[in-house]
Amino acid sequence: MTAPINIAAWSGPRNLSTAMMYAFGARGDAAVWDEPFYAAYLEMTGLDHPMGNEIIAAGPRDPDEVAARCAAPHPSGKPVFYQKHMTHHMIDGVSRDWFASVTHLFLIRHPARVLASYAKKRENPVLDDIGFRQQSEIFEAVRSAGQTPVVIDSHDIRDNPAGMMDALCDALGIPRDSGMVSWPAGGHADDGVWAPHWYDAVHRSTGFAGAEGPLPGLPADLQAVCDAALPHYDALKPFALKA
């Protein structure tokens, strides 16, 4: 039997994070939660995001309530509780006391690939929109607290899905599950309300996309953001799992 584990998976947007949630959602022993702090983040910041009003209305909007639920066993009783978190949602005023109660996973991706994808969905992104600065800061906070977080690079997943999922399961201490490399097309029952805007490609998928090609070229404004994000990616890259 799988030992209970709450997994806080940290990434920025356009980082294979939804596909990873679907991979865990394909496990019979796992429950998933899609961006738990999103409504609270928008309520607290007042930022204008696609479908923002719908996201806030869908809630929950109390970050302390979300934190308590992240630290607790999933109500379904399933032993694996996978939480897809956006690093930029962890703003001042959001408690991190629950960090000690979960296992931390950091999903990384080269910022050039992130920005090329993100800019198609939301114009003029800045560094704090894509979460790299926040990701490296959370990573160091977790390490400073004495935990050994798991890091996995989306490039490696797409290059070798089965091998990397096995390596990830081993690193997390959960049973391997060959079913994690595929899922039904059309989305997951636990998708956030924002899925129609952001998840069109993954809704058409039935598994991880193939290996990535060369890095995309970026216009000057996005290249400047990429250059600012790259040191944060490079700081986590040496810790990435290998199959």
Q: Where are the domains of the chain?
A: 5-239
The distance of Cα 201 from the centroid of its chain, to the nearest Å, equals 16
The fold of 5-239 is Rossmann fold (3.40.50)
pTM over 0.85: yes
The span from the CA of 58 to the CA of 179, in Å, is: 30
User: Per this entry, what is the length of the chain?
Assistant: 243
Angle between helices 220-236 and 132-144 (to 10 degrees): 10
Give residue-wise pLDDT tens across range 167-187.
999 999 999 999 999 999 999
Give residue-wise pLDDT tens across range 11-53.
999 999 999 999 999 999 999 999 999 999 999 999 999 999 9
Q: Which residues of the chain have pLDDT under 70?
A: 1
